[in-house]
Amino acid sequence: MFKPASSDGIRRIFFGLLTRRERWSLSWRGWLALLLTAAGVGGVWMLQVHSFLAPTRRVDTKILVVEGWVQECFLRAAMAEFQTGHYEKIYTTGGPIIGSDGATNDYNTSASVGAELLVKFGMPKDLVQMVPSHVAGRDRTYSSALALREWFRTHALAGKNFNVLTEDAHGRRTQMLFQKAFGAEATVGIIAVTNPDYEPPRWWRYSEGVREILGESIAWFYAAVFFHPDPPPGR
């Protein structure tokens, strides 16, 4: 019934039904080192995550794109960017308005709402072009990018580089998804405008900052690791 430990250090009893072996485990020093390491990594993440999620990297272009779902203050920032950047045209993107049951009418999209607000704020109407997407639900940013790509191809703008202006921590994900949609035919610049509802260096002190940073961190990770769409038609 009882057998001494074998050469591999395993002791077997009850005809081998139960085994006992030596194992390594963390001592109190090991746990302390692990906790200190985790605290250090967490601290670095808290201090650096906003700048990671909200980059601004412009490319040389006359085309400015703004996501139509953003708040009014970001649309005003888009107008200022348009003027200082000497752009020739501003495009608004976006799909069906949330809560509209996925209606596919062009004028029931955030692209249309964004364009109307830009004109209301003083942008000349002939310089604003809405490019609506009719895809509701998941992957809305990518679907909006595909709609813009198709509009560019239809209007002989394929291969043109452009800048996308969006809200704060949504920036890195927006740039990645637009670049995935356009592939190598265009270089996508990104302009992430700071959210006035919280201080980026201390985002964890504001409920709005916590919601935005944690939500965008998860969304970016999903898009970077798990989102691998089929190549768009025509590529």
For residue 184, the one-letter residue type is A
Residue 41 within a domain = no
Residue 175 within a domain = yes
Q: Domain holding 58: CATH number? A: 3.40.50.620
Residue 16 within a domain = no
Give the model's pLDDT for residue 124: 97
Taking each helix axis from N to C end, the angle separating 110-121 and 72-84, rounded to the nearest 10 degrees, works out to 60
What is the rounded distance in angstroms from the CA atom of residue 144 to the CA atom of residue 142? 5
Q: Find out whether 62 and 86 touch, Cβ atoms under 8 Å.
A: yes
Residue 135 within a domain = yes
Residue 206 within a domain = yes
Give the model's pLDDT for residue 134: 87
> What's this model's pTM, rounded to 2 decimal places?
0.85
Give the model's pLDDT for residue 222: 96
What is the rounded distance in angstroms from the CA atom of residue 209 to the CA atom of residue 169? 9
Structural domain tally of the chain? 1
Give the model's pLDDT for residue 163: 98
Q: Could you report the average pLDDT of every consecutive run of 10 residues in the chain (235 residues)?
A: 53 67 80 91 93 97 97 97 96 86 76 97 97 86 96 93 97 97 95 96 95 96 92 66
Residue 94 within a domain = yes
| Short-list 154, 165, 153, 1, CA closest to 71 | 165
| Short-list 217, 114, 229, CA closest to 166 | 114
DSSP, collapsed to helix, strand or coil, labels residue 21 as: strand
Which residue range forms the structural domain that includes residue 128? 52-225
Q: Give buried/exposed letters for 189-210 (b at 16+ CB in 10 A, else e).
A: bbbbbbbeebebeebbebeebe
Residue 146 within a domain = yes
Give the model's pLDDT for residue 105: 79
Residue 28 within a domain = no
Q: Find out whether 167 and 71 touch, Cβ atoms under 8 Å.
A: yes
